[in-house]
Chains A and B, each alone.
Chain A
Amino acid sequence: MKRNPRELETTHRKLNRRTLLVGGIQAAFVGGLAMRMRYMQVDQADQFRLLAEENRINIRLIPPKRGEIFDRNGKIIGQNIPSYRVVIVREDAGDVEKVIENLTRLIPLNDEELARARTEMRRSAPFLPVTLADRITWEDISKVAVNAPALPGITPEVGLTRVYPQSDDFAHVVGYVGPVSDYDLSQITDPEPVLRIPRFQIGKVGLEAKREDLLRGKAGAKRVEVNATGRVMRELDRREGQQGADLQLTVDAELQEYVQARLGDESAAAVIVDCETGDLRAIASAPSFDPNLFVRGISLADYRGLTENTYRPLANKTVQGTYPPGSTFKMITALAALEAGVTGPDDTVYCPGYLEVGSRRFHCWRRGGHGHVDLLNSLKQSCDVYYYEMALKVGIDKISAMAQKFGLGVKHNIPMSAVARGLAPNRDWKSRVHGQDWLVGDTANASIGQGFMLASPMQLAVMTARIATGRSVSPRLVKSANGVEQPTGAGEVMDLNENNLRRLRRGMYAVSNERRGTAYGSRIIADAFRMAGKTGTSQVRNITAAERAAGVIRNKDLPWERRDHALFVGFAPFDNPKYAVSVVVEHGGGGSKAAAPIARDVMLQALYNGQPPLEAYPKKDRSRIKAQQERLQGGRRPKARPDGKDRA
């Protein structure tokens, strides 16, 4: 198309004008972009730099080393040992199934654990490690390490786990740890972040749980650089945490081991408390269990075995079991009467074998009666009628107050699980809880430690220590934390007439050392270590008048769970009390037969600090004791080795 040059000229000019206009718009836009870039990169740079750092830097917790637990002589009870596990990183493994197959040829793998690992692998990012086998032995981990080239993506890892080398002996004292559960987390308001570490172990029961605050320590932290998918690229720096405090117990592991073995297969509890400091030298509940099972994650069958056992191995009978104290309570009734001045130590009561209280007849354990008895004889022969009389004179409220003064019905402050308060009932308590008036018959029952009266073996041991010393001794389980000695439980001198206490102790001496004393058969004949004590047999059923008429059925003929509890409390040496002991044998029958021998044996063990000489035993018992000592020495179960080699 031919163009007129002038027209060409005008269109060209117009084009150039518009070109410059468009160029101007473009320049303005570029200017705008530059301004925006400057605003973001210069004015707001710090803010964006911070966001970038937040993106890339992650804080990872370093779990603290848990404090260890020792006995009073430094023997280890709760220990941290290296725990080896095998982890797989899917991304590095390539053919996961082939690698697992190779691994199976080297070390035993648990099918259940494998199935769980496979599920976890499907869900998690390919570069995250998944545990294939936990708590494997050093030999197995070495095999894995040596064969590393054939096992791509497999890494042996080491962590710390808890083990209890003393196994059953300290299960109830120390308890056990376990991995934090969702339930645990829900119970804690604002849980520490360290608790969210997978498989982090916390105390579940016993001292481990109660002194979690001391044992756990403080978590350290490391700053790591991560990429957008969360993979750690490198570590930037770290701040070490603080390991948990080591705890030293007042318990003597050897004595504890002996006591546990001496209780044997009975459903029983025994407590030995140091009269001077309140230190719990031994606190054993039988039967026991292996706490290591729980650390590992107990199998359903094992757990059912423990819960369905009628002897209740999981229950810590020393502090959470409460029993009618029976005749072991009589010292309290007597002391309440003596302190109130309603009787003197030499005043006698006539025991015809029963006492009529209101319309009811309260029987003495001896049908024929004891005749005229004073304080000493009432204790020695455990005459019930004497105490019915005393109680009726002094009244329940003073008895109850005296019981509380001696730690019954009072919750002792010791770091164990489910410490029971027990019960020292009074008028006020009955109307409050039962909405009924206190009856005079209740007082009679309470006077001999029956009826509503309940106490734990530990409370009875503490009561005995208080009788022996006249001071309000309180129990102590932790001797020192991180080397810092904890306050002792020596206690104040109690506001009591020392003369009354002396007469009471003299009566207890008669129980164990004089003919016709209920525990004469279980006496200690070493003069330096004479023991004073009191037997108790507490009923777990009512004996009806009809049954009594037909003749009370002997314990042996009753089913186990209806038999009487056997109890014994005592202290020794009589002149200079060192230890107080209490023994409860559930449904063991009579206290003098079932409980007193155990108490004597464990007391001698404590006094001689090891195996006592046969000369300390009455002559006629020596051959039997010798056999028993040999049996206990030989029969002590082998302990689980701390290296966890007992893995199936």
Chain B
Amino acid sequence: MSYLEYSVKSTPTGLRKILFMNWPLTLLLISVACVGFLMLYSVAGGSFTPWAEPQMKRFVLGLGVMTVVALVPIWFWRNMAVLAYAVSIMLLIAVELFGTVGMGAQRWIDIGFMRLQPSELMKITLIMVLAAYYDWLPGNKTSRPLWVLVPVLIILLPTFMVLRQPDLGTSILLLMAGGGLMFLAGVHWAYFAAVIAAGVGLITAVFQGRGTDWQLLKNYQYRRIDTFLDPSSDPLGAGYHITQSKIALGSGGWTGRGFMQGTQSRLNFLPEKHTDFIFTTLAEEFGFVGGFSLLGLYTLIIVFCIATAIATKDRFSSLVTLGVSINFFLFFSVNMSMVMGLAPVVGVPLPMVSYGGSAMLVLMLAFGLVQSAHIHRPRGAPR
């Protein structure tokens, strides 16, 4: 599949590669980022500071990162996968030792020009290492217990480290993205059935363990779950976020209350309105039309990723692209479920829209891999 009507027999070279990037995907990413700028401008009360302007700068930086990553051949990234994974693990250890405590959790290391969240980086390096693993592993061994155990350990190691920070949201995302990749790679479905059964058991254990010495989650995490299950039980306390978020979203109606006219966000009833709850502002000000449009843009990004993955013959490329798309999907679906009251508040930002440097840069890096896979897809004679 070729989006530009160039007929090339072999992989392009040099800066010409830029022309062979997945341009529709790039334009979609830019569109989504622009929605983000618009909303950050709105929640700041019609001002580029303090959020919209830094976000724009970071996005430009992100585009640069994406392009650089895209220009590097995908096989280089495959070879780098294990190293990247190791570095991420070390950074997670570093954050455990020297990290800054924020919101009751150790999550970032201040490295001068930005705050690095190793757990964000881990999301992408985990996908890379798993994709490289399954690219390397012969297909007939995929479902053998020993060869299943290896990726399971690869996933669980960072998951537990992130959970210890403690960042429940990210650890669940890691688990689901990793599991999703294993499923795509062709691991027998019976393993997943077993894990789901075990998961049900674990959830039971989490709830049974509450209040005992061996309780598995922090108290605030339990409270978030309680709040999720019944937000009205504590409308001015922990349930406040969910309740206000639902009010804002619902009051948007079909076409919303107009740009910068959302009372819930303008009058600060919305919590974290520039980060986790930014979708609520969008839905309040632009209504169902606005919210559905953003959902459409996200869906198109996923569709283009899947198309890229199916089109390429390179297994690593396919798996990385799909892994990135799953990750991206998890981001926005969990965030939207959260603000709509379908999931507990776990602190997952809306990708490309929420204010935040780390998350956006890592995402752009990930899309750089997708672009690289697209540019460097095997061409030439059909089989």
Residues of A with Cβ closer than 8 Å to B?
1, 3, 5, 7-12, 14-16, 18-19, 22-23, 26-27, 29-30, 33-34, 36-38, 40-42, 44-45, 47-49, 51-53, 55-56, 225-229, 233
- Residues in chain B near residue A11, CB distance under 8 A: 139, 142, 186, 315
Is B315 a contact of A12 with CB atoms below 8 Å?
yes
B33 adjacent to chain A (CB < 8 Å): no
- Residues in chain B near residue A38, CB distance under 8 A: 288, 292
- Residues in chain A near residue B244, CB distance under 8 A: 55
Q: Which single member of B142, B253, B319 contacts A41 (CB below 8 Å)?
A: B253
Cα of A56 to Cα of B257 in the assembled complex, Å: 14
Q: Which single member of A1, A3, A225, A228 contacts B268 (CB below 8 Å)?
A: A228
Interface hits, B296-318 → A, CB 8 Å: 298-299, 302-303, 306, 309-310, 313, 315, 318
Q: B162-170, B177-185, B201-209, B369-377: which one contacts chain A?
A: B177-185
Is B383 a contact of A14 with CB atoms below 8 Å?
no
Is A37 a contact of B306 with CB atoms below 8 Å?
no
Q: Of all chain A residues, which has the CB nearest B240?
A: A228
- Residues in chain B near residue A19, CB distance under 8 A: 184, 306, 309-310, 318, 322
Q: Of all chain B residues, which has the CB nearest A57?
A: B263
Q: List 5 A-B contacts (CB under 8 A).
A: A5-B383, A12-B315, A33-B333, A40-B246, A55-B269
With contacts A19-B310, A45-B250, A56-B267 known, what are 13 further pairs, Cβ within 8 A?
Answer: A15-B315, A15-B319, A18-B186, A19-B306, A19-B318, A22-B322, A26-B329, A30-B295, A40-B249, A41-B249, A42-B254, A45-B254, A225-B267
Interface hits, B132-153 → A, CB 8 Å: 136, 138-140, 142
Cα of A228 to Cα of B252 in the assembled complex, Å: 18
Cα of A23 to Cα of B308 in the assembled complex, Å: 13
Is A36 a contact of B340 with CB atoms below 8 Å?
yes
Q: Of all chain A residues, which has the CB nearest B262?
A: A52
Give 1 or 0 for each of B236-261: 1 = CB within 8 Å of chain A CB. 00000000101111111110000000
- Residues in chain B near residue A53, CB distance under 8 A: 263
Cα of A41 to Cα of B295 in the assembled complex, Å: 14
- Residues in chain A near residue B106, CB distance under 8 A: none
Cα of A225 to Cα of B268 in the assembled complex, Å: 12
Cα of A10 to Cα of B248 in the assembled complex, Å: 50
- Residues in chain A near residue B268, CB distance under 8 A: 227-229
- Residues in chain B near residue A40, CB distance under 8 A: 246, 249-250, 340
Q: Closest 10 interchain pairs by CB?
A: A48-B250, A11-B139, A227-B267, A52-B251, A228-B268, A45-B253, A41-B288, A49-B251, A48-B251, A40-B250
Q: Which single member of A37, A49, A228 contacts B283 (CB below 8 Å)?
A: A37
Tell me whether A228 and B269 are in contact in the complex, defined as CB-CB below 8 angstroms, given that A15-B186, A19-B184, A22-B183 are known contacts.
Answer: yes
Is B333 a contact of A23 with CB atoms below 8 Å?
no
Is B287 a contact of A41 with CB atoms below 8 Å?
yes
- Residues in chain A near residue B254, CB distance under 8 A: 41-42, 45
B354 adjacent to chain A (CB < 8 Å): no
Cα of A3 to Cα of B313 in the assembled complex, Å: 13
Tell me whether A41 and B333 are in contact in the complex, defined as CB-CB below 8 angstroms, given that A1-B138, A3-B138, A15-B185 are known contacts.
Answer: no
Cα of A438 to Cα of B266 in the assembled complex, Å: 82
Q: Of all chain A residues, which has the CB nearest B319?
A: A15
Closest chain A CB from B179 CB (angstroms): 11
Is B302 a contact of A15 with CB atoms below 8 Å?
no
Is B313 a contact of A52 with CB atoms below 8 Å?
no
Q: Of all chain B residues, which has the CB nearest A44?
A: B250
- Residues in chain B near residue A14, CB distance under 8 A: 139, 186
Is A226 a contact of B251 with CB atoms below 8 Å?
no
Is B139 a contact of A29 with CB atoms below 8 Å?
no
Secondary structure at the B interface, as helix, strand, loop or mixed, is helix
Is A26 a contact of B302 with CB atoms below 8 Å?
yes
Give 1 or 0 for each of B219-230: 1 = CB within 8 Å of chain A CB. 000000000000
- Give the A-B pair count, Cβ closer than 8 A: 138
Q: Which single member of B136, B250, B326 contacts A49 (CB below 8 Å)?
A: B250
Closest chain B CB from A39 CB (angstroms): 9
Cα of A108 to Cα of B234 in the assembled complex, Å: 48
Tell me whether A23 and B186 are in contact in the complex, defined as CB-CB below 8 angstroms, given that A15-B318, A34-B295, A47-B250 are known contacts.
Answer: no
- Residues in chain B near residue A47, CB distance under 8 A: 250
Is B326 a contact of A51 with CB atoms below 8 Å?
no
Q: Of all chain A residues, which has the CB nearest B322?
A: A19
Interface hits, B179-218 → A, CB 8 Å: 180, 183-186
Is B247 a contact of A52 with CB atoms below 8 Å?
yes
Tell me whether A55 and B183 are in contact in the complex, defined as CB-CB below 8 angstroms, given that A5-B383, A22-B326, A36-B342 are known contacts.
Answer: no
Is A41 a contact of B291 with CB atoms below 8 Å?
yes
Closest chain A CB from B176 CB (angstroms): 11
Closest chain A CB from B95 CB (angstroms): 31
Cα of A15 to Cα of B319 in the assembled complex, Å: 9
Q: Which single member of A15, A16, A55 contacts B267 (CB below 8 Å)?
A: A55
Q: Of all chain B residues, which has the CB nearest A228?
A: B268
Closest chain A CB from B131 CB (angstroms): 11
Cα of A341 to Cα of B336 in the assembled complex, Å: 101
Q: Of all chain A residues, which has the CB nearest B279?
A: A37
- Residues in chain B near residue A26, CB distance under 8 A: 302, 329, 333
- Residues in chain A near residue B171, CB distance under 8 A: none
Cα of A38 to Cα of B336 in the assembled complex, Å: 13
Interface centre among A37, A42, A44 (most CB of B within 10 A): A37
B119 adjacent to chain A (CB < 8 Å): no
Cα of A52 to Cα of B342 in the assembled complex, Å: 20
- Residues in chain A near residue B303, CB distance under 8 A: 23
Closest chain B CB from A148 CB (angstroms): 27
Give 1 or 0 for each of B89-116: 1 = CB within 8 Å of chain A CB. 0000000000000000000000000000
Is A228 a contact of B250 with CB atoms below 8 Å?
no
Interface hits, B47-94 → A, CB 8 Å: none
Cα of A29 to Cα of B383 in the assembled complex, Å: 36
Is B306 a contact of A52 with CB atoms below 8 Å?
no
Cα of A16 to Cα of B312 in the assembled complex, Å: 11
Is A37 a contact of B267 with CB atoms below 8 Å?
no
- Residues in chain B near residue A7, CB distance under 8 A: 138-140
Closest chain B CB from A16 CB (angstroms): 6
- Residues in chain A near residue B288, CB distance under 8 A: 37-38, 41-42
B22 adjacent to chain A (CB < 8 Å): no
Cα of A597 to Cα of B310 in the assembled complex, Å: 120
Closest chain A CB from B151 CB (angstroms): 15
Closest chain A CB from B155 CB (angstroms): 17
Give 1 or 0 for each of B281-296: 1 = CB within 8 Å of chain A CB. 0010001100110010
Cα of A18 to Cα of B134 in the assembled complex, Å: 14
Q: Which single member of B186, B252, B340 contacts A33 (CB below 8 Å)?
A: B340
- Residues in chain A near residue B250, CB distance under 8 A: 40-41, 44-45, 47-49, 51
Interface hits, B311-341 → A, CB 8 Å: 313, 315, 318-319, 322, 326, 329, 333, 336-337, 340
Closest chain B CB from A293 CB (angstroms): 43
Q: Of all chain B residues, which has the CB nearest A1?
A: B136
Closest chain B CB from A500 CB (angstroms): 78
Cα of A34 to Cα of B283 in the assembled complex, Å: 12
B125 adjacent to chain A (CB < 8 Å): no
Is B138 a contact of A37 with CB atoms below 8 Å?
no
Is B251 a contact of A45 with CB atoms below 8 Å?
yes
Cα of A37 to Cα of B284 in the assembled complex, Å: 11
Closest chain A CB from B74 CB (angstroms): 16
- Residues in chain B near residue A5, CB distance under 8 A: 383
- Residues in chain B near residue A36, CB distance under 8 A: 340, 342
Q: Of all chain A residues, which has the CB nearest B184?
A: A18
- Residues in chain A near residue B117, CB distance under 8 A: none
Q: Which single member of A1, A55, A227 contacts B247 (CB below 8 Å)?
A: A55
Interface centre among A5, A48, A227 (most CB of B within 10 A): A48
Closest chain B CB from A215 CB (angstroms): 38
Is A51 a contact of B184 with CB atoms below 8 Å?
no
Q: Which single member of A41, A226, A233 contacts B252 (CB below 8 Å)?
A: A41
B42 adjacent to chain A (CB < 8 Å): no
Cα of A227 to Cα of B287 in the assembled complex, Å: 21
Is A37 a contact of B322 with CB atoms below 8 Å?
no
Q: Of all chain A residues, which has the CB nearest B263?
A: A56
B159 adjacent to chain A (CB < 8 Å): no
